[in-house]
Amino acid sequence: MADVHTPEQRSYNMSRVKSKDTKPELLVRKFLHARGFRYKLHDNKLPGKPDIVLPKYKTVIFVHGCFYHGHQGCKYFVVPKTRTEWWLDKITGNRKRDADNYAKIAETDWRIITIYECELKPASREQTLQNLLDQLNQISIG
């Protein structure tokens, strides 16, 4: 199946895909800030430039989009019908890079929390954020 957009239109569309300050990321940041957590953003001293870094807790939080990070079993991760091989290569590369970055971070004794976009949809948002809060409270106690 051919692409339904011109190369110029496709390029424009792709240029609008954000990697920072996404709605899911902002949701998590506002939640944490409202509960007194202070954090750094996109710290390039850590592998993968985590979305949220909580130095006091030695914890990083990645907020991933389900599509671009190939969230398995998620209804928001659907392999496109056009340029399928290219997209699968891209998503596989993203997942490999994520795994490599997680391994490097784990070597430094930092904790890693990953939240996927689908977990912040209205139906499951409250539970996801409560789980995040519980994890951070466990870290602060331990």
**CA distance linking residue 58 with residue 138, whole number of Å:** 13
Residue partners of 139: CB distance under 8 A and separation at least 6: 57, 58, 59, 111
The model's pTM is 0.86
Q: Which amino acid is at 19?
A: S
What confidence tens digit (pLDDT) does each residue in 23-53 have? 999 999 999 999 999 999 999 999 999 999 9
Give the CB-side neighbour count of residue 141, counting CA atoms within 13 A. 6
What confidence tens digit (pLDDT) does each residue in 83-131 have? 899 999 999 999 999 999 999 999 999 999 999 999 999 999 999 999 9
Ordered by where they begin, the domains of the chain are: 20-141 (3.40.960.10)
